[in-house]
């Protein structure tokens, strides 16, 4: 089966600092690369996504960069705030946003005020 790994597994930053989480996947047919944020006991929320014809996408404090050749993509959060504290998952997939997604191992981000 496909392997989807995230690094680091835990990340603690000071408020205002930047955070970067990397996702490595094995399925070369993946063409959709989303990042989800999940708070304890809640559903995952899509925060940003990118498709294989684009190398980078930015939405305010959040950005995603894709290196399809190396099969990894990263989540970048700038000017972190305590409310950014959550578990973040990457979930690469084939066939776009409506096909099945394989979730990564997860990264617990703690933003210290």
Partner 1 sequence: GAVVSQHPSRVICKSGTSVKIECRSLDFQATTMFWYRQFPKQSLMLMATSNEGSKATYEQGVEKDKFLINHASLTLSTLTVTSAHPEDSSFYICSASNAEKLFFGSGTQLSVL
Residue 105 is a binding residue for partner 1 (CB under 8 A): yes
Q: CA–CA separation, 99 vs 91, rounded Å?
A: 11
53 near partner 1, rule: CB under 8 A: no
Contact indicator for 72, 3 with CB cutoff of 8 Å: no
Q: What distance in Å separates the CA atoms of residue 1 and residue 55, rounded to the nearest whole number?
A: 26
* Window 65 to 94, contacts with partner 1 (CB under 8 A): 89, 91
Q: How many chain residues interact with partner 1 (CB under 8 A)?
A: 19
Q: For binding to partner 1 (CB under 8 A), which residues are involved? A: 1, 41-46, 89, 91, 97-106
């Amino acid at each position: 089966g496909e392997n989807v790994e995230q690094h680091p597994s835990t990340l603690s930053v000071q408020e205002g600092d930047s955070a970067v989480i990397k996702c490595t996947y094995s399925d070369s047919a993946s063409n959709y690369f989303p990042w989800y944020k999940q708070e304890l006991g809640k559903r995952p929320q899509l925060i940003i996504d990118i498709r294989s014809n684009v190398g980078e996408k930015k939405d305010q404090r959040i950005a995603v960069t894709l290196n399809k050749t190396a099969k990894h993509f990263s989540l970048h959060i700038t000017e972190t705030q305590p409310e950014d504290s959550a578990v973040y998952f990457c979930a690469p997939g084939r066939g776009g946003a409506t096909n099945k997604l394989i979730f990564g191992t997860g990264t617990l981000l703690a933003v210290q005020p």
